[in-house]
Amino acid sequence: MRDPTNGEPGVGYWELAWGELALRRGETSDAIERLGRGLELTSADSLIDFYLGSESLATAWQQLGNETQALRVLEDAAHVKARYLPYGLVGAGAFGRFRVQARLAREYRRLERIDEAEALEADVLRMLAYADADHPIVRQIRESQASRAAFLGESHATATH
């Protein structure tokens, strides 16, 4: 099998960086190409780059109006676990995965796929059980759950009167 990096370290990282720049400049097609290539080249050596790059690639697909592909990118990234680390996800890699899972849950909620959103949120909250209550991902999930509960309470109250 041919090595796509030609033995050069960091090629995937630079592709992701150029993809991020293209995305910020509004060059969405170039961003998708570079981010996709960067993800192929980094998934085995840098989890945080993989997760952040996946989020950006999903954003790029959404900007092109391809919600299906954006969702697929997030789903693929959310299911990548610590296959590279025998002792599990740690540090920035774990944070990246939690970010992707939380974003995917938001997308599921937006698409009214509530059961899937709640399952992802429960998984993230389980993993962050000992995190500070003010942790940004914990706070985001709790706010989303509270909004849903308030909405259901209002809908139920309206339906019963």
Q: What are 124-137's pLDDT values in tens digits?
A: 889 888 888 888 88
Q: Is the pLDDT of residue 97 over 90?
A: no
Q: Is 124 inside a domain boundary? A: yes
Q: What are 23-54's pLDDT values in tens digits?
A: 999 999 999 999 999 998 886 556 788 899 99
Q: DSSP states of the chain as a string?
A: ---TTTT-TTHHHHHHHHHHHHHHTT-HHHHHHHHHHHHHHHTTT-HHHHHHHHHHHHHHHHHTT-HHHHHHHHHHHHT--STT-TT---HHHHHHHHHHHHHHHHHHHHTT-HHHHHHHHHHHHHHTTTS-TT-HHHHHHHHHHHHHHHHHHHHHHHHH-
Task: Kindly indicate the confidence band of residue 156, based on its pLDDT and cuts at 50, 70 and 90.
Answer: very low
Q: Which residue has the higher pLDDT, 133 or 69?
A: 69
Q: Is 106 inside a domain boundary? A: yes
Provide the pLDDT for residue 136. 87
- If one counts the domains in the chain, the total is 1
Provide the CATH number for the domain around residue 60: 1.25.40.10
Q: Which of 3-7, 46-50, 148-152 has the lowest mean pLDDT?
A: 3-7
Provide the pLDDT for residue 46. 66
Domain of 35, in residue numbers:
11-160
pTM of the full structure: 0.79
- Average pLDDT, integer, range 105-119: 93
Q: Is 115 inside a domain boundary? A: yes
Q: Is 5 inside a domain boundary? A: no
